[in-house]
Amino acid sequence: MSNSIIGNSKLVGFVATRDQARAKVFYQDVLGLKLVSEDQFATVFDANGTMLRVTPVRELAPAQYTVLGWEVADISATVAAMSRAGVKFEQYGFPTQDVQGIWSAPGGTKVAWFKDPDGNILSVAQH
């Protein structure tokens, strides 16, 4: 018997937005997530098998840390393609962060951060 209460259950991601229509364009058209459904409670996307619920809120104070991230096979190519699609990558002044915004961590992981239209910090990473 497993000690896991929800370890075998699917994870659902949530991100808040003040403007559902603007968020829908960003997540669907810019990031390329598949739209599943939308109503007054959430715009729902399929993020490669994980449900992402973009939920409208009246007030939003974006977290000062990453709230969603994607693991990618080729971070340089991904960042280049996303930049061409209009995504602006953040520069945090880390000594090993390059001009594309890709930071090389001491262990070899590479990460680049960007924000959605509401200022939520998102990332792509290559492990």
Least confident of 4-13, 43-52, 118-127: 4-13
**Topology (CATH) of 11-59:** 2,3-Dihydroxybiphenyl 1,2-Dioxygenase; domain 1 (3.10.180)
pLDDT in tens, 41-70: 999 999 999 999 999 999 999 999 999 999
**Topology (CATH) of 62-127:** 2,3-Dihydroxybiphenyl 1,2-Dioxygenase; domain 1 (3.10.180)
Q: What percent of the chain has pLDDT over 70?
A: 98
| Three-class DSSP category at 26 | helix
Residue 31 has pLDDT above 80, yes or no: yes
Measured CA to CA, the distance from residue 127 to residue 72 in angstroms comes to: 8
Name residue 19's amino acid.
D
Sign of the alpha-carbon dihedral angle for 14, 17, 19, 24: negative
Residue 1 has pLDDT above 60, yes or no: no
CA–CA distances in Å: residue 105 to residues 64, 70, 81, 95, 108: 19, 16, 22, 10, 5
Strands 50-56 and 66-71: unpaired
> For tokens 């949530």, what's the residue?
14
Give yes or no on whether 11-59 and 62-127 have one common fold: yes
Residue 2's pLDDT is: 58
Per-residue tokens: 124:
């792509």
pLDDT in tens, 77-95: 999 999 999 999 999 999 9
Ordered by start, the domain boundaries in the chain are 11-59, 62-127
E strand map for the chain: 12-17, 34-38, 43-47, 50-56, 66-71, 102-104, 110-115, 121-126
Residue 117 has pLDDT above 90, yes or no: yes
Residue 4's pLDDT band (boundaries 50, 70, 90)?
confident
